[in-house]
Structure 1
Amino acid sequence: MLQLFQYNWQVRNEWFDWCNSLSVEHLLQNRKGGVGSFLQTLFHIVDVESSYIREMKGEPDLAPNYHDYMSLEQVRKLSDLYHEEVAEFIGNWSSEMDQEIVTISWLNDSKLSCGEILRHILTHEIHHIGQLSIWAKELDKPVVSASYIGRGLH
């Protein structure tokens, strides 16, 4: 599981680097599909990952407001800030935790297993990375590689 999170973090950081080449207009432009713009999508990925991890830890969701993070640098700093907490939690993951049940407050107090939540976090980010790739192609720009192979994770 850790290697898949490491994969997501590598790809996310490559998208942050990629987005440096965008104008502010393209970075913030609302796009079809997804949660909005390149910046809003990156913010959403970071927020969702942290929110679920904090719920599994029994801690309150920090629920940052997107409008307080209106630059690529601010969203990247938020990602870096949350990363340590998420990495520590994932690094201490055990197979016994897979079946632990957690109540997710923003999903009408749904009860989900930690294993299901962790897998959702992984696939959620991969889904949105695919959207970023489509938007990059619409701008006639090369995309960040989504390949797991060659990333040195094994």
Structure 2
Amino acid sequence: MEMLFKYNWMVREEWYRWCEEVEEAELLKKRTGGMGGILHTLFHNADVEWSWIRILQGKPDFMERFESYNSLERVRELDASFRLEVQQFVEKWDNDMENKLLHLPEEDGSVTVFTWGEVMRHIIAHEIHHIGQLSVWSRELGLKPVSANLIGRGLGSHHSKK
């Protein structure tokens, strides 16, 4: 689990560096799919990750809007402010947490139940999904996207080059 979170953080950081080479107007431009824009999608990834972790911990959710963070610098600062809490939670993850239940009240009064393991995997898959959208937009701009490869990033416990 931890490896995939580290992978997402690594790739997100690479997308931030990619954004440094792109005009801000392109980062904010409305696009088809995803969250409708490059920077908004990066904001969304950090927001969703932190929000779910807060929910698992029984803490209040983040309710800010993208319009308050619509610059690369602001999104990076927000992400950095969230990361420590997320990282601490992920690093403390153990098998006993896998089947803990999360009860989410719905607007209609019903309650949806998920396991914590299911939520953690959703967080991971959610970001990977949006990385794909960023890659499409990158190609539409005629730019090389950030690599989505997990292999070769040095995240495995037995990774070495010979």
TM range (shorter): over 0.9
Among candidates 130, 134, 137, match of residue 136 of structure 2: 134
Q: CA RMSD in A?
A: 1.3
User: For residues 85 and 107 of structure 1, do their structure 2 counterparts lie closer, same or farther at Cα, with a shift above 3 Å needed?
Assistant: farther
- Indicate conservation of the 8 Å contact 1:48/1:121, yes or no: yes
Structure 2 gaps, min length 5: 157-162
- 1:118 corresponds in structure 2 to 120
Q: CA deviation at 1:67?
A: 0.9
How many residues get paired? 154
1:72 aligns with 2:72: yes
User: For residues 96 and 39 of structure 1, do their structure 2 counterparts lie closer, same or farther at Cα, with a shift above 3 Å needed?
Assistant: same
Query: CA deviation digits over 1:6-27, x for unaligned, max 9?
Result: 0000000000010111111100
User: For residues 72 and 107 of structure 1, do their structure 2 counterparts lie closer, same or farther at Cα, with a shift above 3 Å needed?
Assistant: farther
Q: Which amino acid aligns with 1:150?
A: G
Q: TM-score, normalised by structure 1?
A: 0.96
Structure 1 gaps, min length 5: none
Structure with bigger gyration radius: 2
1:87 aligns with 2:82: no
Query: CA deviation digits over 1:109-144, x for unaligned, max 9?
Result: 422110000000000000000000000000110110
1:37 aligns with 2:37: yes
Per residue, is there more helix in 1 or in 2?
1
- 2:159 corresponds in structure 1 to none
Q: Which amino acid aligns with 1:3?
A: M
User: For residues 57 and 69 of structure 1, do their structure 2 counterparts lie closer, same or farther at Cα, with a shift above 3 Å needed?
Assistant: same
User: For residues 92 and 107 of structure 1, do their structure 2 counterparts lie closer, same or farther at Cα, with a shift above 3 Å needed?
Assistant: farther
Work out the CA distance in 2 between the residues paired with 1:21 and 1:4.
26
SS in 1 for 2:22: coil
Structure 1 runs of 4+ with >4 Å offset: 105-109
- Indicate conservation of the 8 Å contact 1:27/1:39, yes or no: yes
Q: CA deviation at 1:81?
A: 0.7
Work out the CA distance in 1 between the residues paired with 2:150 and 2:112.
32
Q: Which amino acid aligns with 2:136?
A: I
